[in-house]
Amino acid sequence: MREDSCQKTMDIYVEKFRWHLQQHSPLQDEIIDTIISVSRLRKYKKGEIFSKQGESCDKWAYNCSGIFNVFATQEDGTLFVMSFLKEDDFIRSRFDISTPCNVTIQALCDSVVVEFQAKVLQEMSFQNAQFGNFLRCVVEKYFVVYASHMLQIGTRKALDNYLLFRNNFQSDEGRIPQHFIAAYLGITPTQLSRIRKKLSMSQ
Question: In the chain, pLDDT over 70 holds for what percent of residues?
Answer: 92
Taking residue 27's Cβ as centre, other Cβ atoms within 10 Å add up to 18
Residue 138: which pLDDT band, with cuts at 50, 70 and 90?
Answer: confident
Q: For all residues of the chain together, what is the average pLDDT?
A: 89
CATH 3.60.40.10 for the 2-127 domain, yes or no: no
Alpha-carbon distance of 116 to 104, in angstroms, equals: 18
Q: Taking 70 as the threshold, does the pLDDT of residue 177 lie above it?
A: yes
Residue 153: which pLDDT band, with cuts at 50, 70 and 90?
Answer: confident
Alpha-carbon distance of 111 to 67, in angstroms, equals: 7
Alpha-carbon distance of 95 to 146, in angstroms, equals: 13
Alpha-carbon distance of 26 to 100, in angstroms, equals: 31
Q: What is the pLDDT of residue 96?
A: 63
pLDDT tens, position by position, 1-52: 445 555 666 688 999 999 999 998 889 999 999 999 999 999 999 999 999 9
pTM for the full model? 0.88
Q: What is the pLDDT of residue 140?
A: 87
CB within 8 A of 134, min separation 6: which ones? Answer: 25, 26, 27
CA dihedral 174, 180, 182, 185 (to 10 degrees): -100
Alpha-carbon distance of 120 to 34, in angstroms, equals: 11
Q: Taking 90 as the threshold, does the pLDDT of residue 84 lie above it?
A: yes
Residue 196: which pLDDT band, with cuts at 50, 70 and 90?
Answer: very high
- Pick from 120, 142, 145: which is nearest to 131 by CA? 120
Least confident of 14-18, 152-156, 171-175, 199-203: 199-203
Question: Residue ranges per domain, the chain?
Answer: 2-127
pLDDT tens, position by position, 66-83: 999 999 988 888 889 999
Alpha-carbon distance of 70 to 77, in angstroms, equals: 16
